[in-house]
């Protein structure tokens, strides 16, 4: 038993050292707090305004096409022409369709003559059956021939009707009132059924279409939008963001945005030029901070907020409105006077004690 005493002393010594090291680790932040670069958030200044060139485009348009194949022999409208429903747009060579219509009409006449002959034979067979000159079986065969002649006549009539409609389709007509925004086929071109020949747009529903870089997409969603008319430089009207295309143009890598607005019929003609003016409201306390202050924590976009003495950091969720160079534009989540970490943000944890090294106040918008 006495031989075991040194082992017990050695064990107690090891436990004491482990507890001492643990206590030192728990107080590491107090003894040597991490130094971080920090700034004080300034007030959102005057609203930031940006301008984009835009084009007036129809919100609704439809392609006009022939229902039958053929070679275009004439066009009756030009790009920019105003058209009414039913107005001719183009014409194809009716030769083949007219031949089919004539053949179907001839076949109908033949079927009608055969049906008439069978009707006459049917009446004669009925009288002969009553007088006993033919059997019931022979009368039944005559009745069947009459029914077949009637069916053939109906088929011929349907074929002639379809051929006549196709022959009438050699002239393409507008299905609605509107403006021709493009002609996609020319005289001499052979077109197939459903192939676009002209595009007709509704001039009553217009919108502004323009391209924005990816860096401005988030900002555009929260900005106030106005539309400047090229026809009247002094006229600015409100606009509303309708949509931003989900995919960028593969050539320019820009996103196409659509803004609706109300303007007179002659103020913004389709195809005309516009100016889109976006304004990030200062009243919304939009401000900018160094992009290095932005990080992700538990799936949220945050900055590390400094508070207390000694200074401790806590995550603060923010909403980004976009980027501008090395600055991140904050739409909401921060207020003037907040102290935030701008360097080493990804290495921090909630409640950690730090030693802030203050820099110049953040840039205002």
Question: Which two structure tokens, joined as six digits, stand for 190?
Answer: 């052979």
pLDDT at 345 over 80: no
**pLDDT computed for residue 18 by the predictor:** 47
At residue 269's C-alpha, the angle toward residues 264 and 273, to 5°, is: 110
Contacts 24+ apart (CB under 8 A), 291-295: 291/323, 291/326, 291/327, 291/328, 292/342, 292/343, 292/345, 293/39, 293/328, 293/340, 293/341, 293/342, 293/345, 294/318, 294/320, 294/328, 294/345, 295/345, 295/346
Question: What integer pLDDT is reported at residue 8 of this predicted model?
Answer: 43
- Full strand arrangement of the beta sheet holding 82-83: 61-65, 196-201, 178-183, 82-83
Give residue 99's pLDDT. Answer: 66
Stronger pLDDT, 23 or 238, i.e. the higher one: 238
Angle between helices 95-131 and 136-168 (to 10 degrees): 160
The strand pairing partners of 225, in sequence order, are 278
- When pLDDT is cut at 50, 70 and 90, the band that residue 107 belongs to is confident
Q: Report the C-alpha gap between 30 and 230 in whole angstroms.
A: 64
- Quick one: pLDDT band at residue 30, thresholds 50, 70, 90? very low
Q: What is the pLDDT of residue 88?
A: 92
pLDDT on residue 291: 87
Average pLDDT over residues 98-110: 79
pLDDT at 21 over 50: no
Average pLDDT, the chain: 81
Report pLDDT for 51.
87
Say if pTM beats, i.e. exceeds, 0.95.
Answer: no
Q: What is the rounded distance in angstroms from the CA atom of residue 338 to the CA atom of residue 41?
A: 5
Question: Residue 358 — pLDDT band, cuts 50, 70, 90?
Answer: confident
129 pLDDT higher than 70: yes
Q: What is the pLDDT of residue 44?
A: 56
In this prediction, residues 101-115 reach a mean pLDDT of: 84
Task: Please tell me which residue, 290 or 283, carries the higher pLDDT value.
Answer: 290
The confidence band for 360, taking pLDDT boundaries of 50, 70 and 90, is low
Per-residue pLDDT band for 329 (boundaries 50, 70, 90) equals confident
Please check the confidence at residue 364 and state whether its pLDDT lies above 90.
Answer: no
CA 240 – CA 228 distance, rounded (Å): 13
How much of the chain exceeds pLDDT 90, in percent? 19
Per the model's pLDDT, the better-predicted residue between 319 and 234 turns out to be 319
The label of the residue with tokens 């901070």 reads 289
| Cβ–Cβ under 8 Å, residues 200 and 219 | no
Give residue-wise pLDDT tens across range 184-203: 888 888 988 889 999 998 88
The rounded distance, in Å, linking the Cα atoms of 348 and 365 is 28
Domains recognised in the chain with CATH numbers: 28-44+285-358 (2.40.420.20), 49-58+205-280 (2.40.30.170), 62-93+170-201 (2.40.50.100), 95-168 (1.10.287)
Q: What's the pLDDT score for residue 350? A: 93
Q: What is the 3-state secondary structure (H, E, C) of 44-85?
A: CCCCEEEEEEEEEEECCEEEEECCCCEEEEEECCCCCCEECC
Give the C-alpha separation, 66 to 300, whole Å.
54
Q: What pLDDT score was predicted for residue 3?
A: 46
């Amino acid at each position: 038993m006495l031989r075991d005493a040194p082992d017990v002393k050695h064990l107690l010594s090891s436990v004491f050292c482990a507890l001492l090291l643990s206590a030192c680790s728990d107080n590491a932040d107090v003894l040597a707090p991490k130094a971080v670069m920090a700034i004080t958030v300034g007030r959102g200044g005057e609203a930031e305004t940006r301008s984009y060139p835009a084009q007036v485009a129809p919100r609704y348009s439809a392609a006009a096409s022939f229902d039958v194949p053929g070679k275009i022999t004439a066009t009756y409208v030009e790009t920019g022409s105003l058209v009414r429903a039913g107005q001719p747009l183009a014409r194809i060579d009716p030769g083949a369709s007219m031949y089919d219509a004539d053949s179907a009409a001839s076949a109908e006449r033949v079927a009608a003559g055969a049906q008439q002959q069978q009707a006459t034979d049917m009446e004669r067979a009925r009288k002969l059956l009553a007088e006993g000159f033919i059997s019931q079986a022979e009368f039944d065969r005559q009745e069947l021939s009459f029914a077949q002649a009637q069916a053939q006549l109906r088929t011929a009539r349907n074929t002639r009707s379809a051929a006549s409609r196709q022959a009438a389709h050699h002239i393409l007509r507008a299905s609605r009132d509107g403006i021709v925004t493009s002609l996609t086929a020319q005289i001499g071109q052979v077109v197939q059924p459903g192939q676009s020949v002209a595009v007709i747009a509704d001039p009553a529903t217009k919108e502004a279409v323009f391209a924005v870089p990816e860096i401005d997409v988030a900002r555009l969603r929260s900005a106030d939008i106005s539309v400047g008319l090229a026809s009247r430089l002094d006229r600015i009207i409100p606009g509303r963001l309708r949509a931003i295309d989900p995919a960028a143009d593969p050539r320019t890598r820009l996103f196409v945005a659509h803004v609706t607005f109300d303007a007179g019929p002659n103020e913004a003609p389709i195809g005309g030029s516009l100016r889109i003016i976006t304004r990030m409201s200062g009243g919304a306390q939009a401000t900018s901070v160094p992009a290095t202050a932005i990080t992700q924590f538990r799936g949220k976009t945050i900055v590390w907020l400094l508070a207390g003495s000694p200074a401790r950091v806590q995550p603060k969720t923010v909403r980004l409105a976009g980027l501008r160079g090395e600055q991140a534009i904050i739409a909401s989540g921060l207020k003037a006077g907040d102290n935030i970490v701008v360097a080493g943000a990804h290495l921090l944890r909630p409640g950690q004690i730090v030693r802030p090294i203050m820099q110049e106040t953040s840039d205002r918008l």
